[in-house]
Amino acid sequence: MEYWIKAEPDVNVYVNDINPLGRKTILFIHGWPANHKMFEYQYNHLVPLGYRCIGMDMRGFGNSDKPLGGYDYNRLADDIRCVIEAMRLRDITLGGHSTGGAVTIRYMARHNGYGVSKLALFASAAPSLIQRPGFPYGSTRETVEQIIQATYRDRPKMLRDFGELFFYQKVSEPFSDWFFQLGLQAASWSTIAVSKAWLAEELFHDLAKVQVPTLILHGIHDQVCLYPLAVAQHQGIRNSVLVPFENSGHGLFYDEREKFNRELSRFVG
């Protein structure tokens, strides 16, 4: 079932509710610059097992409205709250990939984990995507600035280049084209705005506010959100479990999808 849920008076976010009568609910938050369709290899595995899978497109991406503003983590977390309230979701697992993972952490801290009983982080861009004083583990500020400038100059080429960094395992050319199209469905301005948010957003204090069991899945070959970020998440979140993926990059949901699906379903219960 498809819904457009009002996040602000003039902004609606898209939600795809797969298997609404499923026994346990997982709300998936995608990473930049894709949309909820990136999790199709999870939906195909989890739904037959009886899970309810809800895919949400963040504002500016996929089928959601694409306003010119509202791309800081607070607003994106507030959009998740709007979806959880509108759909009356309770006792769910909230899962997020990359930037989506960072936003789910902000949600847990900002909204006290409303409606969420478990958190799952997939290659999450937390506690900071970029290096900062006292935190030398992220990408460089210059790398992000280059992505921003490349988006202004030639967004399709930027997406192609980013796609080449994304997966550790070799993917087919048709799969690469499909993934490329997910990025093109976003607005150029939202693609740029979220990239700029990486430079400003920190989640060091948010980690300690996560009060639910947390699963951290992260590829050791990740070139986007480097593996030490996962270690920092594990150290900062009480009652968390870190599972390294030895044969995965940033796209661990596809690189090692069988292991990914097995670990996630075991965690959700």
Which of 30, 57, 250, 255 is labelled catalytic? 250
Find tokens 């150290």 and name the residue. 235
Q: Is 222 a catalytic residue?
A: yes
Rounded-to-integer distance, Cα 17 and Cα 258, Å: 22
What would the two tokens of residue 202 be?
A: 């920190």
Rounded to the nearest angstrom, the gap between the alpha carbon of residue 231 and the centroid of all alpha carbons in its chain is 18
d(CA 196, CA 156): 18
| Candidates 222, 240, 248, 255; catalytic one | 222
Beta strands in the chain (DSSP E): 2-8, 11-18, 24-29, 51-56, 92-97, 116-122, 214-219, 240-245
- Inter-CA distances, 238 with 208, 233, 267, Å: 7, 9, 16
Q: Report residue 158 CA to chain centroid gap.
A: 19
Catalytic residue flag (residue 98): yes
Of 87, 8, 108, 16, whose CA–CA distance to 53 is shortest?
A: 16
> CB neighbours of 133 closer than 8 A, spacing ≥ 6?
none
* Residue reference for tokens 């899962």: 95
Catalytic entry in 98, 128, 139, 190: 98
Q: Catalytic site residue 206?
A: no
User: Exposed/middle/buried for 47, CB within 10 Å: 0-12, 13-18, 19+?
Assistant: middle
76, 82, 116, 144, 150 from 162: Cα distances, Å = 23, 31, 32, 11, 11
Structure tokens at 231: 């270690």
Which residues are identified as catalytic?
A: 98, 222, 250
